[in-house]
Structure 1
């Protein structure tokens, strides 16, 4: 046993019936067969974290009634290799800078998800770190060696906060746009809601997939400004969307709803062309309704998707390293996670937030001074 595994750490835990994470002192995990121990340098905060903390809410049914460490977005360095990792994953070494893909697919040929490439959907055996099993809102996390993705860059070149955001806030719209909808250069894309996912969606559609036209729509002027900086061709509030489409003679092929409330869903319905696709990624409403005849008369396709795969995350990290994608991320000490969640609930955040373990945050602050 290495010295690191004899230590304790502060972890921010999901406790059934509690509205906020509960800090607990727990042992630093010991990596078991096929696992690595990662020292967390940054861990993202997501609307899903808000959702699962609502007792009786739609997302609360996604997690088991057990205690576990939150955080399904993360980045760090490998601190320890578990048994057999050195031989089965010779490319991984202690000190490697990695992104944490929090999936645990079974990879069995009989699995209806894994056998078709949907490893992001397999929760048969292990669930997802941060949503079912211990996640990255702690100083360390132990997970499968197959679930870490080496970062094609250095800590100085690409900040851990950016890498942590890539594991979900970038991965989710990337999977939706590239894999699920197959957005291409000839398409016009509407991004409804320019928050943590929507802003990255603009970036992906324009710079990775080369979409001909990207329209950003949000109620906040600062979000519209960010969208234009990310490459959007147009950025307007919802009340101006249809006028813009008519005046500029735009034809919306794909409408991505990054909010997921009835008003944004209806706006996508109104804006999409006949034969177009509405893809819902936002989870702010438990249910969304539509008139069947309205969808039929437009011959629409209604889609949704969940997260993304490890291979897609590797593609994203390369795009970030190449300078194609530049996620907007703020950092805060991990001990402020409840305040960050409150800010997210109240719509006060201007960007994705990554939590930095307090000991690291103090060193960063001292360095800046």
Structure 2
């Protein structure tokens, strides 16, 4: 009898608000798949969201949708993969087959299909992008979700480009927002930031933000009664709740007061169960353009890896072990994490 090879993994299980750590068989790649030894996997607010009571998901799967790993073995139809090469995984494919009642990406890796909070992971070869030489796994990992999401929101949805002179407000300087500050700044934007955490505001300033606000300060600055109300061209919201939506709407509305221009832009990023109220006459008459953004394309992943390799984006990260996954999730839920938290399922050991 051949012994079954097992690995440690953290599972989402229906009705459980914690990740369940247990041993499970190491997966075998199909003809078009590659087996990766997971080097690093980012922890996301989406993981907290899916473990919350807001989601009733009947499936059991390994969590983790921000992954890089070393190629170990692959199926008979796979070509071009290099053994021992570090690859980033295009995890949350927007057009993936969806479980009825869930959004299209819900059957992607770590969001319905088995993900990277494990020692090994199988993925389709078409979802792999080589990590540039010299880029550490824990740094490269952010390209696979947080930075690709930032890039899509800033570059594609907000349509910022190098050489811009626009004023941009980043709301929420967390695992994604602190990278958005850097990207917008690198394009030439004048960047402002809002966060309730003093350390997050300090981080934004250290990354080049012109000015930072807490909630009360931004409320006062954008009030109609302010002597010179604070205004930006674009506001990108990485929190997406009723408070943030109202504040950023106030920050962009005066840009659209002149009928000769296209108005201010609000970009809502990521997953949120918040109930947002839109009063049409305000958004129409002030020319406020509300856009949404989540994840990005495989080309956006390649662009994100390039930004990291060139040092344009320098993510603030800290690492932890797979055994501590629930402690990390609890800290993220309690807003105690600065920057991005990365799980190292194999203790960072290379292939």
Q: Which residue of 2 aligns with 1:134?
A: 114
Higher helix fraction (1 or 2): 1
* C-alpha deviation, 1:352, in angstroms: 1.1
How large is the Cα RMSD of the aligned pairs? 2.4
Task: Work out whether residues 171 and 237 of structure 2, in 8 Å CA contact, stay in contact via their aligned partners in 1.
Answer: yes
Match of 2:319 in 1: 331
- 1:105 offset after TM fit, Å? 6.7
**Aligned counterpart, 1:202:** 181
Structure 1 residues 104 and 80 mapped into 2: Cα distance closer, same or farther (>3 Å)? farther
Instruction: Please show how residues 26-175 of structure 1 align to structure 2 within 5 Å.
Output: 26-55=24-53, 57=54, 60=55, 64-86=57-79, 90=80, 92-104=81-93, 123=105, 127-154=107-134, 158-175=135-152
Specify the SS of the correspondent of 1:304: strand
Select the residue among 329, 333, 343 that pairs with 1:355.
Answer: 343
What is the TM-score when the length of structure 2 is the normalising length? 0.88
User: How far is the alpha carbon of 1:284 from its aligned partner?
Assistant: 4.5
How many residues align? The count is 331
Distance 1:282 1:130, change over 3 A: closer
Q: Point out where structure 2 has 5 or more consecutive residues left out of the alignment.
A: 98-102, 257-262
**Higher RCO by CA contacts (8 Å cutoff, separation 6 or greater):** 2
- How many angstroms apart in 2 are the aligned matches of 1:48 and 1:194? 16
Structure 1 partner of 2:260: none
Name 2:11's counterpart in structure 1. Answer: 13
Residue 116 of structure 1 corresponds to: none
Shift of 1:241: 2.9
Does 1:252 pair with 2:232? yes
| Secondary structure at 2:11 match in 1 | strand
Distance verdict in 2 for CA 1:267–1:250, change over 3 Å: closer
